[in-house]
Structure 1
Amino acid sequence: MPTPAASTTHLVLIPSYNPGVKVDDTVRQARAQWAPVWVVVDGSTDGSAERLQSMAKDDSDLRVILLPRNRGKGAAVLAGLDEAVAHGFTHVLTMDSDGQHPADLIGAFMAASMSRPDCMVLGRPKFDESAPRVRVLGRKLSNLCANIETLWAGIGDSLFGFRVYPIAPLRALMSNRHWMRGFDFDPEAAVRLCWIGVRPINVEAPVRYFKPEEGGVSHFRYVRSNVLLMWMYLRLLFEFVPRLPLLVLRRFTQAPR
């Protein structure tokens, strides 16, 4: 099936750090569904940067952005946002480089964004038997925190990184603070965008966890990553309390979806 003509407003942005060989298939599958596709290589040392650059030589709709050192997922996304604005793009679909996200739904997510460009389109994951139970239970707690701190504004899943963001409000939020640079980028971005009135649209999407013998690579560390999330939600809670009157007012005055 031929790749659609390159969009001038929406691009696929893939932050990538030592993803192993799965990134090759991820990028090929993304390119089969959309153009352009950009990969931000966040200081990878596993040889993936060289392979991706080789792929890009023969594909004008694939771009590889190299960061000299690993700075975190949010920092990689911000680097992509800066470049996207410079090239006139208005929206990015972010997806992980490890093959967990469904590239075949890129078109559907982009269409949802184009129909409501003022909104963010959030993937709501459908798990299969490959999903570690502790991860599934842990994200339920994360989702509860995100929903409390947005007065249940509609965040179906706070952690799933397969989503479409409007660039301008997200970039403005990130440029004004030094947080949102690491693994905790996705939930904080969703909460803060809700705070400034960017409404979420939820679209179901399957997710698959690959075992190491299948080429799966995970940088999630149960203690460190969960402590980081807890600290993030605590920071947001301190900001949520003074915002509460405005959020309540918006809830009762905004037009129905």
Structure 2
Amino acid sequence: MNCCLLIPHYNHERQFVAFLPQLVATGLPLIVVDDGSHESSRTQVASALAQYPNTYFFTLQRNRGKGGAVKAGAVFARNLGFTHALQIDADGQHNVADVEAFLRLAQQHPDAIICGKPVFDTSAPKARVYGRKVTDFWVALETLSLRIKDGLCGFRIYPLTQIENVFDHYFVGNRMDFDTELLVKAVWLNTPLIFINTKVIYPEQSVSHFNYLRDNLLLIKLHSRLMLGMLVRLPLLLWQRVRGK
């Protein structure tokens, strides 16, 4: 297993530069994909990365969304010879101390997607915490299973072969729908998922790109699409449940 850190970045330069020493301390190579940030943001991130070895900085000409940046990063990672990519957010929400535990699980289960299951502190907005319960309900219906313990956390190790298989078989959204849709369609392909508890914080003065109207409408559209997809695949999913897969 040859793993890198994969960080999609969009105008989070202040948080990312403060977070960067923790990422470097993991000892893993870093692939940062800038998702069409403002020029000043790109420049600050590129300058910070230039101080460290084993860092790669790729830029997208326009904003594609988090999912689009992760998809591009997976291609870059594969071309650089990596077999796995540990996606972690650029804004410091995720607990870098858990990287070692994620890696141990990935080494034991190299074909599985290792997923973070958030443990929130008091900094977490209530709307985001309760909104996850709604997502949990829908993904259980869409997969006819309880295999997805959390469909929104972006702290994951992706085996590149397995997620490329998902991309080859299915459309996966490019924006806030990406994290959920990828796991649902991975379950449809019977890809192994393993969840690990991880602390998630909301740093002070953090900048969120989540738009409650636009992105909630996007998620409604996502779950409508996934429910229709589930109905089309209902016999296969039922057969997988009967067989215990």
Pair in the same fold by TM > 0.5 = yes
Q: Does 1:84 align with 2:74?
A: no
- Partner AA of 1:240 in structure 2: M
* Structure 1 position 177, deviation (Å): 5.2
CA distance in 2, matches of 1:189, 1:51: 31
8 Å contact 1:35–1:62 — kept in the other structure? no
- Correspondence for 1:250: 240
Q: Does 1:136 align with 2:142?
A: no
8 Å contact 1:26–1:97 — kept in the other structure? yes
8 Å contact 1:41–1:66 — kept in the other structure? yes
8 Å contact 1:123–1:204 — kept in the other structure? yes
Per-residue deviation, residues 55-86 of structure 1 (Å, max 9, x unmatched): 33232211111111111011100111111111
Q: Name the CA shift for 1:178/1:241 in 2 (closer, same or farther; >3 Å).
A: closer
SS of 2:57's equivalent in the other structure is strand
Q: Name the CA shift for 1:31/1:57 in 2 (closer, same or farther; >3 Å).
A: same
- Partner AA of 2:37 in structure 1: S
* Structure 1 position 211, deviation (Å): 3.3
- Correspondence for 1:230: 220
- Partner AA of 2:64 in structure 1: R
Matches within 5 A, 1:107-186: 107-175=100-168, 179-186=172-179
Q: Once superposed, what is the RMSD of the aligned Cα atoms? A: 1.6
Q: Does 1:65 align with 2:68?
A: no
Per-residue deviation, residues 20-56 of structure 1 (Å, max 9, x unmatched): 4001122221111131111101011162321222233
- Correspondence for 1:4: none
Identity of aligned residues (%): 37
CA distance in 1, matches of 2:147, 2:8: 25
CA distance in 2, matches of 1:34, 1:189: 27
Q: Name the CA shift for 1:234/1:249 in 2 (closer, same or farther; >3 Å).
A: same
* Structure 1 position 105, deviation (Å): 0.9
TM-score normalised by the chain length of structure 2:
0.94
8 Å contact 1:153–1:194 — kept in the other structure? no
SS of 2:187's equivalent in the other structure is helix
- Partner AA of 1:230 in structure 2: I
Per-residue deviation, residues 169-227 of structure 1 (Å, max 9, x unmatched): 31233355554211110000111111101121110001111232xxx110111111111
Q: Does 1:220 align with 2:213?
A: no
Which structure 2 residue ranges, 5 or more long, are not aligned? Answer: none
CA distance in 2, matches of 1:102, 1:145: 27
- Partner AA of 2:62 in structure 1: R
SS of 1:206's equivalent in the other structure is strand
Which structure 1 residue ranges, 5 or more long, are not aligned? Answer: 1-7
SS of 2:5's equivalent in the other structure is strand
- Partner AA of 1:243 in structure 2: R
CA distance in 2, matches of 1:47, 1:25: 16
